[in-house]
Amino acid sequence: MKVLLTAPYENEKALRELEGLFDEIIYRSWKPHGRAYNPTELKALLKETKADALISEHDEITADVLRANPHLKFVGICRGTPSNIDLAVATELGIPVFNTPARNAQAVAEMFIANVITLMRNTMPAIDWLEGKNWGEGAHTSYLQFKGNELAGKKVGMVGFGAVGQYTARMLLSFPTEILYYDPYYEDPNPVFKKVELDELFSVCDVVGIHLPVTAETKGMIDRKYLSLLKKNAIFVNTARATVVNREDLLELLETEQIRGAVLDVFYHEPPDEIDYKMIHHRNVLATPHIAGATHEVEDHHAFIMNNNLRAFFHEGDKTIKQLVNKAVLEKQTTN
């Protein structure tokens, strides 16, 4: 089997492993290209290489791409959720689709905690103050002006308790914090994590984090109804998907100082539009350009996870497993 690999596989061991699973690997990572391949480019690349299968990361694998290549033995998506492929058409054509759950969970969890602490400790304005040469003779000026809060002892709520929410929760236990979560599709066996309804979570938590995919159910789900329940000293965090939150309602909350602040890594428009920039420039917002999952290690994680999935499917799996692959992925995409 000849496999076209456009996802980054810069870990030499992972690449050698993949080469050992198939007859030929044609490595055409999107990174030197500067961006993901669009449908036209991807169709041309599949035709040029005569590939029997595809392993991608961000490329646009539309219905048109799939219908032009119904012979594909499988498609691998090196992402937690395979949102860049028309999964319904892949299933219709009998093309198994694999993804890499939790590939960036560690990275996002670390940045979630780091940025919440940064906001709570007033780190960014303190740096600006220091670099602005504002330190005069008063020894206690900065001590009083930038005194913040500790994360320890706070209640942290997770809206969605998938891989990222669970990784973050486990790390937060060591501070320690009290973890509450809302997820109608998951019941955590660890009694230390308390499952609650959204109203309670937004009302009592000091930090509320969003960990939801975009689905028909979740789009715009977090709006004024829930945001207005936040405590005045609460911090709102979204490192997942911007459109699950009503941004106008969130912006109003920030501008009227009804909450302490927000940590935002995702936006309605990327690059941002005027409304996004109003939030980005707000003095109580710590904003980053969709980089919570951007670590070098994430690429290592997705390579080894994908290799393990493919090894199990082609060398260790059975017919029952193969029949369930797309069904399971589709259910995860629409309900998790």
Residue boundaries of the structural domains of the chain: 2-99+296-334, 104-287
Residue 318, pLDDT score? 44
- Token pair 């999964």 in the structure block, residue: 87
Count the neighbouring beta carbons within 10 Å of the beta carbon of residue 130.
Answer: 12
pLDDT for position 305 = 97
Instruction: Note the pLDDT of residue 327.
Output: 46
Architecture of domain 104-287: 3-Layer(aba) Sandwich (3.40)
Q: What pLDDT does residue 136 have?
A: 82
pLDDT in 10s for each residue of the chain, 336 residues = 999 999 999 999 999 999 999 999 999 999 998 999 999 999 999 999 999 999 999 999 999 999 999 999 999 999 988 989 999 999 999 999 999 999 999 999 999 999 999 999 999 999 999 999 998 876 678 888 999 999 999 999 999 999 999 999 999 999 999 999 999 999 999 999 999 999 999 999 999 999 999 999 999 999 999 999 999 999 999 999 999 999 999 999 999 999 999 999 999 999 999 999 999 999 999 999 999 999 999 999 999 999 999 999 987 654 433 444 444 444 444 444
Residues ≥6 apart with Cβ < 8 Å to 138:
none
DSSP string, 21-43: HSSEEEE--HHHHTSPPPHHHHH
In this structure, the chain runs to a length of 336
Residue whose structure tokens are 């992925």: 329
pLDDT of residue 137: 76
Query: Is residue 24 a contact partner of residue 3, using CB atoms and an 8 Å limit?
Result: yes
| Contact (Cβ atoms closer than 8 angstroms) between residue 85 and residue 65 | no
Domain spanning 2-99+296-334 has what CATH number? 3.40.50.720
The reply to whether 104-287 shares the fold of 2-99+296-334 is yes
Alpha-carbon radius of gyration of the chain: 22
Burial of 194 (0-12, 13-18, 19+ CB in 10 A): middle
Q: What predicted TM-score, i.e. pTM, was given to this entire model?
A: 0.87
Q: How far apart are the C-alpha atoms of 50 and 40, rounded to whole Å?
A: 15
Cβ-in-10-Å burial (0-12, 13-18, 19+) of 243 comes to middle
Rounded to an integer, what distance in angstroms lies between the CA atom of residue 48 and that of residue 61? 16
Q: In the chain, which ranges are continuous DSSP H helix?
A: 12-21, 30-33, 39-49, 63-67, 87-92, 105-120, 123-131, 141-145, 163-172, 198-204, 224-227, 247-255, 274-280, 296-311, 319-335
According to the model, what pLDDT value does residue 139 have? Answer: 66
As beta bridge partners, residue 85 has 61
Report the alpha-carbon distance of residue 184 to residue 57 in Å, rounded. Answer: 29
What does DSSP assign to residue 130?
H
Instruction: List the catalytic residues.
Output: 241, 270, 290
Burial classification of residue 76, based on how many CB atoms lie within 10 Å of its CB (0-12 exposed, 13-18 middle, 19 or more buried): buried
Q: Residue 214's closest CA among 109, 107, 334, 48?
A: 334
